[in-house]
Amino acid sequence: MEKKKIIGRDISILHRHKNRYGDTVFKEFNLNNTQAEALLYLNRFPGANLKEINNYFMINKASITKIVNHLEILGYVSRRYNKQDKRECGVYLTDSGIELIPELINRLQKWENMLLSNIESRDVEKLRDLLFQMVENITVMGLK
């Protein structure tokens, strides 16, 4: 396969394939790829509010609200409101959500293993650094 000159195209292709993969392997849990990743985020950051989740995923607030609503309906998360300020709301994994985490990690690890097969570990680390810098570049420009 010839090397492409437009990096964004390759990133877009990887993104679409990852979403397809995730949508397939998480279907039995009634989740799509982004919803599964939101559960993993909440596992790392219990009690995160919608703004914090939004800042991590860099997608619009309405989408984050829809994701959390779906996860709540499925019983994977619950919202807890601050008693002093009802506007403050943290999102937490339920027992069902916690039970799901190892399987989500396992399935996402399989994707990453496929994606990174035949790539040296030093190159993987360089790739991670470069992608991080690219995200930083876009974020600094105000594009989220």
52 in Cβ contact with 45 (< 8 Å): yes
Distance between CA atoms of residues 91 and 51, nearest Å: 11
* SS3 assignment, position 33: helix
Distance between CA atoms of residues 34 and 24, nearest Å: 12
- Confidence class for position 99, pLDDT limits 50, 70, 90: very high
Under DSSP, the state recorded for 48 is B
- Confidence class for position 76, pLDDT limits 50, 70, 90: very high
List the domains of the chain with CATH numbers.
7-119 (1.10.10.10)
On the CB side of 93, CA atoms within 13 Å amount to 19
Q: What is the pTM of this model?
A: 0.85
Q: Please give the pLDDT value at position 1.
A: 57
3-state helix, strand, coil in the chain (%, to 5): 65, 10, 25
- Number of C-beta neighbours around residue 90 at 10 A: 17
Q: Please give the pLDDT value at position 104.
A: 97
Q: Please give the pLDDT value at position 3.
A: 64
105 in Cβ contact with 91 (< 8 Å): no
- Confidence class for position 65, pLDDT limits 50, 70, 90: very high
Q: Is the dihedral of CA 60, 8, 129, 109 positive or negative?
A: positive
